[in-house]
Chains A and B, each alone.
Chain A
Amino acid sequence: MNSQSVGNIWRRQKFYYFLLLPGLLYFLIFHYIPMFGVSIAFKDITPFDGIEGIFGGEWVGFTHFKRFFDSYYFWNVLGNTIIISLYKLFFGFPAPILLALLLNEVTSKWFKKSVQTISYLPHFISMVVVAGLLTNLLSTDNGILNAILSALGKEAVSFLGEPAYFRTILVISDVWQSIGWGSILYLAAMAGIDPQLYEAAKMDGANRLRQMWHITLPGISFVISILLILNVGKFLEAGFEQIFLLYSPSVYQVADIIDTYVYRQGLLQMQYSFAAAIGVFKNIVGMVLILLANYIVKKMDQPGLW
């Protein structure tokens, strides 16, 4: 390969380099330039600076970071992000696995297919519609949940406005939307497990439950670890669109996550540098988490992401 001159390589491969060009240009412009834009976090940008802000601007070092860490909001927002992510991880990560395990036990092919098809329906609905369905369901005037409550003689509850209920609603609706689609990968992996393993276990007297524990789960452990790593990397995301569509000032204290705070401060209040600093913080923590998770998973003898 080294013996070929650049000219030679160019002649043979130039077609492919032309093919590469538009895509790489896209990533350069729309992904890498904003990445360099994190330099905004270390400067003082006003709304009138425009793009010069990314390349010029007054350097203020870690002022914005300090402001964020010292503010009352930091702990609240960070705490909410972590708690909501933990809830979603704890309930939302096993859910598709459980569904896959259940579906795996079904012998009737058409039943399995039908349930599967129905289960990924919510995944294709836009978040706006899901939010609309939810607000309808939980509305104080004519939502079905409150209708049931009043039938039982209780008072109507403004579910989406109650800090006590809000996170639960988030987790449940998130699981509703993602459990079906999430189970696809697990089911595919389960289909790849050698049936002879099950035969052998049955001969040894293992019931379905033990078979699940000793054969099925280990069989899909590869998929579980990869998806777990990816999930951990997104730990500080916590579902911005969903929360943004459902939250309101009355639940800020439990629902305000890093991204919603950045949206209000950065976009609405135009405190660009401040919001950018928070974004940098998020990226760094996300990277540390993903490296950590990958490392731990590898230590457990599973193949990691790289």
Chain B
Amino acid sequence: MINKREKTTQWLIYIVLVLVSLAFLLPFLSVLSTSLVSEKEWMQRGAFILFPEELDWTAYRMVLFDSTLIWGAYQVTLFRVLVGTALNLIVTAMLAYSLARKDLPGKNAAVTFIFITMVFHGGLIPSYLLIKYIGLQNSLWVLVLPSLVSAWNTFIMRNFFMSIPFELEESAVIDGASPATVLMKIIVPLSMPSFATIGLFYGVYHWNEWFQASIYLNDTHKYPVQVFMRNILLSGSLQDEQMDLTNELPPADTLKSAVIMVSTLPILLVYPFIQKYFVKGTLVGSVKG
């Protein structure tokens, strides 16, 4: 029985949710449009542009072709996303799989060992000194090694491995398979969904990470896209206004918007296809864990 009051509430809820969705979409739409207008149009229309009157690709041309810096930055980001994620997956899977064994002596100690790192951390300074001492500072590997394994992701993957029926392994062992064979021929093919999810978690992390990169890398040629972008986007901000006396003109908003689009577009494009993996992965990991 739907009475009038319930109907109005339903409508209200729908309206609120539509407004909420707009709050998420409009900023992106605005950035996209701003990147596609000419400077002239931007000067005319000022702040908030939802639909360009006239498509203009100047900003993109400047970002992609006039400047070689961003291609270098893209290469660095690609390096850390591909190499980093691959290493992440391999080491995490090795860790998670062995911790998923039912009767491995010392397993619980190892689990606690890893869990503690989720609660305690040495902090910025000791980590910084460590990286310096190891010699990773200003090396591209500093983007990959210090973040090699995430305890959180390890536990999620471990949960997944523990949910694989033991009978599958058992029958293979009875047939004479070695642990390595069991792992490679049975477990790995079954674990593709989990690998995809965790791989995506790591991948997005690598794509978006900027702070570690900014403090450990000195060479501007080694900057990943996010750090490169930070320098461009925030060069017009208050911080620099107060410090920089010989400031060049801050880049036009059209240029800034193009830079944002160029560095966020890959994620936005992949996002619709992969988001269901993310959701499933989070659920499996957290609800069980």
The residues of A with any CB-CB pair to B shorter than 8 Å are 1, 9, 13, 15-17, 19-20, 22-24, 26-27, 29-38, 40, 50-51, 53-54, 99, 102-103, 105-107, 111, 114-115, 117-122, 124-129, 131-133, 135-137, 139, 142-144, 146-147, 158, 160-161, 176, 180, 184-185, 188-189, 207-208, 233, 241, 244-245, 247-250, 259, 262-263, 266-267, 272, 275-276, 279-280, 282-283, 286-287, 290
Contacts and interface: CB of A to CB of B under 8 A. Distances in A.
Given A34-B123, A180-B24, 13 more contacts: A13-B105, A54-B130, A121-B28, A121-B271, A124-B208, A125-B264, A126-B209, A127-B210, A136-B256, A188-B283, A245-B230, A266-B125, A283-B121
B220 interface: no
B114 to A, nearest CB: 6
Given A54-B129, A118-B24, A136-B256, A26 B237 contact: no
Interface in B127-143: 127-130, 132-134
Interface in B164-191: 178-180
Contacts of B31: 133, 136
B211 A40 contact: no
A36 B122 contact: yes
A187 B97 CA distance: 29
Contacts of A36: 122, 126
B17 A27 contact: no
B37 to A, nearest CB: 13
B229 interface: yes
Contacts of A54: 126, 129-130
A9 B105 contact: yes
Contacts of A31: 117, 121-122
A133 B31 CA distance: 8
B24 to A, nearest CB: 5
19 contacts: A13-B104, A17-B104, A26-B91, A35-B126, A40-B129, A115-B18, A119-B21, A120-B278, A121-B24, A124-B208, A125-B208, A127-B208, A128-B226, A135-B237, A146-B47, A208-B6, A208-B9, A247-B239, A282-B123
B64 interface: no
Contact of A20 (B98, B130, B234, B237): B98
